[in-house]
Structure 1
């Protein structure tokens, strides 16, 4: 079943989680511009924001993300702080398989200048709720590098369970890496 995604929006006590829109350009830029230097191996490098314009944002981000959602391939939600509307990161849900599986993959990124405030846990818990209630997944997994302790702690704090280690599972850093699989099933 393909979900109706255009109006999906969810709120927690402190956060708003919704699809990015054209008017988010300045907030989106500010979130990336104000990132601190990389804090560890899995904290991506500061993005080069030179050359980004509202038009490029619309074409390269908004339009492409909408196409992915329209095809039920991936849903990338911006995470915004309610108190000041700042863009603090994203949560994404990708379809692994539908049919009798209804199986999705969870990814998450909070800009490092907002770490250690509980935003990641709050956003991930709400993303899992969206996955089950709005996107109709039965199972959602997170694939986490075995040495990514912050991500492991986040998945566990959001209620996901460790299932297994998949050996040589994802090609990154110019090699096949092992990943831990955390999961949650719909209740």
Structure 2
């Protein structure tokens, strides 16, 4: 199986790469986002540049990144109606003797507080180990992003350290908490 073809299902969700025909569903859910709920929630986003052609190029870029083992991007969809509710991605940090990756996750804020994040991330980690052959996955989380580190802990990730001045964002080098999980 090509790693880009990974698809997984939970009781309520389907995790899979985006397809060109997801455009209207994907765009609709971004446009239906609520105003920002906290510092790390983008809230409403200007989607005016996101045309079908733009989205087709995005899907092709995701495929290219996956085929080159750089980044794997999965849409999170509700199984009952196919609604796009978020995204999960894995970036390859190092292969060879490490098999090490990083996870990123986001659920559209109109779907928060329903357990979708935990369900999606838990399943995505299974995919990372079983289908993408990672041994170690890290989440790099801003020190004050309580919802994100609570989610990491809820799926079995463990706090490892604080990396000082780790990521340049908000016009400065910010500290990040590192959570990790290894394959069993």
Q: 1:113-124 maps to which residues of 2 (within 5 A)? A: 113-124=110-121
Q: 1:23-172 maps to which residues of 2 (within 5 A)? A: 23-59=21-57, 61-172=58-169
- Summarize deviations over 1:24-48 as a string: whole Å, max 9, x none: 0011001101000010000014221
Query: d(CA) in 2 for partners of 1:34 and 1:19?
Result: 21
Query: d(CA) in 1 for partners of 2:15 and 2:43?
Result: 24
Q: Secondary structure at the match of 1:6?
A: helix
Question: Scaled by the length of structure 1, what TM-score is found?
Answer: 0.96
Check 1:177–1:51 CA distance in 2 against 1; reply closer, same or farther (3 A cut). Answer: closer
Q: Report the alpha carbon displacement of residue 51 of structure 1 after superposing the two structures with TM.
A: 3.6
Any runs of at least 4 consecutive aligned residues in structure 1 with deviations exceeding 2 A, and if so which? none
Partner in structure 2 of residue 11 of structure 1 = 9
Query: d(CA) in 1 for partners of 2:157 and 2:50?
Result: 36
Query: d(CA) in 2 for partners of 1:106 and 1:65?
Result: 15
Q: Report the alpha carbon displacement of residue 53 of structure 1 after superposing the two structures with TM.
A: 2.2
Query: d(CA) in 2 for partners of 1:140 and 1:4?
Result: 20
Q: Report the alpha carbon displacement of residue 55 of structure 1 after superposing the two structures with TM.
A: 1.7
Question: Scaled by the length of structure 2, what TM-score is found?
Answer: 0.97
Query: d(CA) in 1 for partners of 2:44 and 2:117?
Result: 19
Q: Secondary structure at the match of 1:155?
A: helix
Q: Secondary structure at the match of 2:80?
A: coil
- Summarize deviations over 1:16-74 as a string: whole Å, max 9, x none: 00000001001100110100001000001422121432222101x10111111111100
Q: Report the alpha carbon displacement of residue 112 of structure 1 after superposing the two structures with TM.
A: 0.2
**Over aligned residue pairs, what C-alpha RMSD do you find?**
1.0
**Structure 2 gap ranges (5+):** none
Query: d(CA) in 2 for partners of 1:52 and 1:36?
Result: 18
